[in-house]
Amino acid sequence: MFCERCGNALQEGEKFCRICGTPVTNVSLIQNIGKASVKHNSVAQNLKGKKILKKKVLIPLILVAVVVIVATVLGINKYMADKPIRDMEKAFESKDVIQVIAVIEKCENGDYYKCNSSEKVRETLWKNINSATNTFNNEFIYDEQTLDENDIFESVIRFIENRFGTLYYIDGVKSEIWNIEEYMKSADLSRSYGGESNIDNSEISTDVLGALNDLDRMIDSKIAYYCGLSYLNNSDDSRNYCKAIEKFSTVIEDDLKYNDAVEKGNEAFEMYFKGTIEAVDEYMKNGDYSAATSLLDTTFNEFSNSDEYSEAITTKSIEIRKKYADEYVQKADENFKSGDVNAAIGNIEAAIAINSDGGYESKLNEYKLYLPLALYDMDNVLSRSSDYRIQPESTIAAVNNDEYNNCLLYRHYKECSPSTISYYLEGKYDTVSGKYFSPKENASMNRTGNAYFEVYGDGKLIYTSPKISAESLPIDIEFSVNGVQKMEIKFIGSGSSVWGVDAQWYGDYAALSNLTARKNIPQ
């Protein structure tokens, strides 16, 4: 028999190895096995098989026990970890904000098993707030016949109170579950809860605050939608269309009423503009285009901050302005072609006032080139002799009793130098025209019938008028001044003068009415 550890030969009866000190075990069993016969060997083999089988069964049992223990521990841990979630779910089911406060504060105070309980509670908060948003979006309907903004507001409050109890504090229809102190003060819950909450709003997660904001937006969106319907259905005042558009434009895309809000907003928009156009038409018919443009400006300003309608408003405003401005431009063209340049300029200025971006300034400048120059206007006279009288406001009768205004009155004696008057034309005009006649009150003075005038352009004679007498009827005169810079008119008479009291009765008289320089209008 040998030592199991060092292989030293052992003596019979030894209990320890003399060399290494290892205990000798199962000595009798080993001895018996050494002396056993073949028969006993087979029994030993059977016994060995049974030991192996026992070992194989024991190992799985140990593993099962370990798994059970671990699972039990994990189950307990999970149960404890999920307790904040279960508590928060129960708090929401109770619809009681006090219970929600209690769960939040237990998390903040570390009363739960797991250190991440606050995160789990906040996740539950987020989930339940989102659920409330979806519930409100799907279930709230205002179906009363009277669409009044205050009634709509009250209906929203009743819905939230019925569906969510005290979970959402309503102040201007705002959900403020996170503002615990403010809630308790407003609802006077401090005594029933046992004092003010010490929860800090800043500790609430961004996701929870975002979910609450989404709920706020959904509440505001629903109110806006039904208020828009109220204004649209009570549109006796055209201003209500504008209010309806404003309300419908704030309905959010997540709102189930969004598509309908867009459709009804467009309807209100069209109706509002229809009324605006009718009012503008009325102003235009009365010639009050300043009131028309003012109304268009007001309409534009109403929607200038609206992302949804500002572009459409701009397009409509330009369209309307262009329409009316083009009408005035057409009138101006007709005036111009008929030779009434002043009327043409007046209409083109009206077009510019209506639509300043219409590009009409070049047409206005073109028309101004054809403005007539009133030669009877003292402001346009370069120089004159003292015996010229300009009487733009007086009416003078001709020998046939026709009356003329805007007159230049001439008197001349043969012994005197011709009466003269001059103008600076700047080469801008093509013709000068007017009416030449003998004044009735002085007709007897034109006895010789030799009263006439000469026109000089830049020192050269360019026109000589017919001679008139006391019996001459008024005649139209016209002459070319194309390219003339300075024009001078000389009136010549042959009447004799007698110095003294009656000297005035011997001069020749004549008059020019509405003498005007013009630039020819192209055909």
Are the C-beta atoms of 105 and 199 separated by less than 8 Å?
yes
3-state SS string for 12-58: CCCCECCCCCCECCCHHHHHHHHHCCHHHHHHHHHHHHHHHHHHHHH
pLDDT of residue 184: 45
Residue 518's SS3 state is strand
Q: Which own/partner contact pairs does 310-313 have at CB distance under 8 Å and 24+ positions apart?
A: 312/269
Q: Which two tokens stand for residue 245?
A: 């558009």
Could you state, in chain order, the average pLDDT of each consecutive group of 10 residues for the chain (523 residues)? 62 66 53 41 46 50 48 50 79 82 73 65 83 92 77 87 79 53 46 44 63 87 90 75 86 94 88 80 78 76 67 72 87 91 92 86 92 91 76 80 88 68 94 92 60 93 90 92 95 61 57 92 83
* Residues belonging to the chain: 523
Q: Which two tokens stand for residue 199?
A: 């929860």
Q: Which two tokens stand for residue 166?
A: 């005290």
Are the C-beta atoms of 495 and 446 separated by less than 8 Å?
yes
pLDDT of residue 140: 93
Instruction: Report the distance separating Cα 250 and Cα 258, nearest Å.
Output: 9
Instruction: Report the distance separating Cα 335 and Cα 340, nearest Å.
Output: 5
Query: φ and ψ at 335, to 5 degrees?
Result: -60, -40
Query: φ and ψ at 383, to 5 degrees?
Result: -160, 160
3-state SS string for 463-489: EECCCECCCCCCEEEEEECCCCCEEEE
Residues 6+ apart with CB under 8 A from 5: 17, 20, 22
**How many of the other CB atoms lie within 10 Å of CB of 253?**
9
pLDDT of residue 2: 62
Q: Which two tokens stand for residue 143?
A: 């179906």
Domains of the chain: 274-371 (1.25.40), 373-518 (2.60.120.1060)
Nearest to 369 by CA among 426, 428, 424, 432: 428
Burial class for 208, CB neighbours closer than 10 Å (0-12, 13-18, 19+): buried
Are the C-beta atoms of 221 and 252 separated by less than 8 Å?
yes
CA dist list (Å): 289 to 279, 341, 356: 11, 21, 13
DSSP tag of 386: T
Record the pTM.
0.49
Instruction: Report the distance separating Cα 428 and Cα 205, nearest Å.
Output: 81
Four-CA torsion 162, 166, 167, 170, nearest 10 degrees: 90
DSSP tag of 309: T
Map tokens 């998390």 to a residue. 107
DSSP tag of 340: -
Instruction: Report the distance separating Cα 432 and Cα 293, nearest Å.
Output: 40
Instruction: Report the distance separating Cα 4 and Cα 25, nearest Å.
Output: 10
Map tokens 């007498």 to a residue. 469
